[in-house]
Structure 1
């Protein structure tokens, strides 16, 4: 659903663009004078997501003409070399067409500061650069610092920003910090990280990025539930049998061995993305869609989550072995470059959770994620109970499954409703499952903004509804830590062939409850 490379920016419809001002959809949500400083600017996230997202925002007319972009890195680059690096990656990964006039305007505000995180003089140069942007570009002291760096570097960068005065907001301006996941590796480290950042920045100025919350279809889940009268009456334990939340990847560690080994699938995906999806799926209707009201309802859900009594029976983990991904033969996790051949890190994780509320009592929520699975897909599947009585011959409904509402988050964003329908022809009553499908790509002419576009703009506007709070992060670790502790006693995860849908123990996990995994 990417925007056509031939579509000029001035032809974009203002009426359904989520980057528009919700108070008046005819008006764009344009950031005021400001700049963003990116630490880790040469990394994959910056090259493929952050720099293109910033350009696309500028190309949509949502950044001010005075916007500044500063890269901080170890490379011995001139400003011109860095500018060429940015241009190269913008051209390779931007979602709007490349416009020379947009680029020329953006390039005037691009700066580069060479140095490492231990170098106090480099941060003094950064402070001078930021002051120059205020003076020459009119950024007015408004600056965001994006930490696209490993968590181990958060402390030194935060201290350096404090020591050179950049963390302090002059009167009438703002300073904000953006932190990429993971937010620690367990509850204790998450609390220590939060304490550290809070010592340097005002807690209201800390934005924790979970890019899944910026996806249009995640937000559409709220519209599906609360803008339609037909769904909310059946969105509870009276009608719902169970819920499956899946994030499957068809790639391996793909050059992330240094980060991934020792972290694993559960910490990488379940603790943040999937528990946030669970909270949005299960929460009560908020009073409003303000940050405080959304957080209040998500927090209630995460507080009510109950772990299974038998973790051996209701959790599963695996590690991909060699196999076939489509027509390509691929190696196993333990053969990947940079992976310890005796690693016990899981590349597949599945858990059952229950929510002790009146709405969800007795409804299991199954969360799974993995690498080298059958295909790339993220979805929320709400599976309903069978009708209490079927006035048909048993042979007429033998192919009839359970009704389901499936929210597809990626790659084919949309919603599918599965229900029973009579097979046409003849006089006999034969009922079979059919699907009714809504696709964003077919239903709307407007392109969805990339998640990082939405989230970066929200930071620059100081709008926090889509960002997890400290309490949400801590509650998520409280849920996952006991499972990780249990897994740490088990040794090697169960292997599964690349290109399949995970280890056999994950199948058995659902079978014990009389369920089976959906085939996305």
Structure 2
């Protein structure tokens, strides 16, 4: 198998917040890796913009250090790094003032793709959008990239969308969710819609339930102030996990095109039932020898914010009516893993007797670590002595199946930034999709805030609070083990 790298058109990418942590850890290393792979044309330029006073040489030195820290050593050829840095410029600019904007206007070129990455807090989105137009920098073909959070609730999401819509059309706005750039997430669509094997079974008649787990071993760390104002529901469920749910549950789009895919995702969100209080479990991790507990991390002993949440969700449409979706995410859990498990129903009748009851087939899509797809099937155990059934995996990890090429699979930011340059919005969220997700999420949050529920304490390094286990046990089901 030979991977193909298709160069993109010449572009100018302006990164507002170009000295920030996201730019240093993710955006700039991703751009370098695409340059190393030969996808960036020689005419491409990257312009970092921020309030800090730097010149080009100082900014390039910062990027060189970031490449050294966040790019694999075998991709750090000195000549390639130097060639990449030649395409980088820096501009001191005030997002809320007028300093630097005329200079940026003078740097822009005609005849190339213009993309503006808002790697800043949402409070600056409106200022940046307004000044891009006031100074004649952006035009009808320009593209802007905005990072989450896309609001804190429905009201703020609508206000944010309205602010951006004053200056940019929807087709110019790229709301980035890095989960949608993961290779396995996109393979989920390929597995569903590229194989007759699965799609006829992908419904409530054949699927018993679906589990989505995103577990992290780290705590909130230096994000304590932000995280305590958001929590797992806003930080993970409303966006990342909602997107995974949509890709699993949506109907086949008429084509793999941006609005066709996003139309079907929107239908899923609008078909979500309200969640009963008894179908939600919230938790906070406690402290141990490996680190402080949640309350210490956020420096708020009275915090009622959840670092863990598990919930049972139903979708009221013809395909999924009656099939529960169990979502679970948390900090300081036993292992770092993200997976989707489609658990099929038991055979209607076992011809092998009670002692050889068949186990359900399970299709597991692993997002991290060791991305791949696993299908557990029942076979006869080899050897004499009668019909003894065993469960075995049909396992495809990208690393094993693709060999060395798996190491060169672009990460999420690489893929998504190149999609911005191409003008492909398929893996980006639309404004009405974001608002629909908040419209479903807000009543859930409002209900527990009104009751003043305190999250359940769970042990760091565990699978979460005991109540989360009971959420499935009462339905006669079990969570899959959290393991790397």
Indicate the TM-score class for this superposition, using the shorter chain for normalisation. Answer: over 0.9
Q: Residues 283-432 of structure 1: matches in 2 within 5 Å?
A: 283-308=250-275, 311-323=276-288, 329-336=290-297, 338-397=298-357, 400-432=358-390
**What is the aligned counterpart of 1:109 among 87, 98, 109?**
87
- Taking the aligned partners of 1:353 and 1:438, their CA distance within structure 2 comes to 29
Number of the residue aligned with 1:235: 202
Cα separation, partners in 2 of 1:340 and 1:155, compared to 1, 3 Å = farther
Deviation at 1:373, TM superposition (A): 0.8
CA RMSD of aligned residues (A): 1.8
Please say if 1:437 is aligned against 2:395: yes
Q: Deviations over 1:250-271 (max 9, x none)?
A: 1111211232111011111111
Please say if 1:64 is aligned against 2:41: yes
Number of the residue aligned with 2:434: 473
Deviation at 1:141, TM superposition (A): 5.4
- Taking the aligned partners of 2:354 and 2:167, their CA distance within structure 1 comes to 67
Deviation at 1:104, TM superposition (A): 2.9
Number of the residue aligned with 1:144: 115
Number of the residue aligned with 1:510: 472
Deviation at 1:102, TM superposition (A): 3.0
Q: What's the secondary structure of 1:306's corresponding residue?
A: coil
Number of the residue aligned with 2:135: 164
Q: What's the secondary structure of 1:61's corresponding residue?
A: coil
Number of the residue aligned with 1:7: none
Number of the residue aligned with 1:281: 248
Cα separation, partners in 2 of 1:440 and 1:141, compared to 1, 3 Å = closer
Say whether the 8 Å CA contact 2:170–2:430 is kept in structure 1.
no
Q: What's the secondary structure of 1:500's corresponding residue?
A: coil
- Taking the aligned partners of 1:301 and 1:476, their CA distance within structure 2 comes to 10
Please say if 1:188 is aligned against 2:141: no
- Taking the aligned partners of 2:37 and 2:438, their CA distance within structure 1 comes to 38
Q: Residues 241-252 of structure 1: matches in 2 within 5 Å?
A: 241-252=208-219
Say whether the 8 Å CA contact 1:167–1:201 is kept in structure 2.
no
Say whether the 8 Å CA contact 2:283–2:455 is kept in structure 1.
yes
Please say if 1:492 is aligned against 2:467: no
Number of the residue aligned with 1:8: none
What TM-score do the two structures reach when normalised by structure 1?
A: 0.88
Q: Deviations over 1:215-258 (max 9, x none)?
A: 11011011111121211121111110000011111111121123
Deviation at 1:316, TM superposition (A): 1.1
**What is the aligned counterpart of 2:8 among 10, 27, 31?**
31
- Taking the aligned partners of 1:269 and 1:156, their CA distance within structure 2 comes to 27
Cα separation, partners in 2 of 1:361 and 1:201, compared to 1, 3 Å = same
Please say if 1:94 is aligned against 2:71: yes
Say whether the 8 Å CA contact 2:126–2:163 is kept in structure 1.
yes
Number of the residue aligned with 1:211: 178
Question: Which runs of 5 or more structure 2 residues have no equivalent in the other structure?
Answer: none
**What is the aligned counterpart of 1:154 among 98, 119, 125?**
125
Say whether the 8 Å CA contact 1:307–1:352 is kept in structure 2.
no
Q: After superposing the two structures, state which structure 1 stretch, 253-262 or 46-55, moved more.
A: 253-262
Deviation at 1:101, TM superposition (A): 3.4
Say whether the 8 Å CA contact 1:159–1:200 is kept in structure 2.
yes
Deviation at 1:147, TM superposition (A): 1.1
Q: What's the secondary structure of 1:513's corresponding residue?
A: coil
Question: Which runs of 5 or more structure 1 residues have no equivalent in the other structure?
Answer: 1-12, 21-27
Q: What's the secondary structure of 2:195's corresponding residue?
A: coil
Cα separation, partners in 2 of 1:348 and 1:516, compared to 1, 3 Å = same
- Taking the aligned partners of 2:103 and 2:232, their CA distance within structure 1 comes to 39
Number of the residue aligned with 1:5: none
What TM-score do the two structures reach when normalised by structure 2?
A: 0.94
- Taking the aligned partners of 2:135 and 2:171, their CA distance within structure 1 comes to 21
Say whether the 8 Å CA contact 2:9–2:112 is kept in structure 1.
no
- Taking the aligned partners of 2:202 and 2:272, their CA distance within structure 1 comes to 17
Q: What's the secondary structure of 1:237's corresponding residue?
A: coil
Number of the residue aligned with 1:450: 411
Q: What's the secondary structure of 1:258's corresponding residue?
A: helix
- Taking the aligned partners of 1:141 and 1:198, their CA distance within structure 2 comes to 23
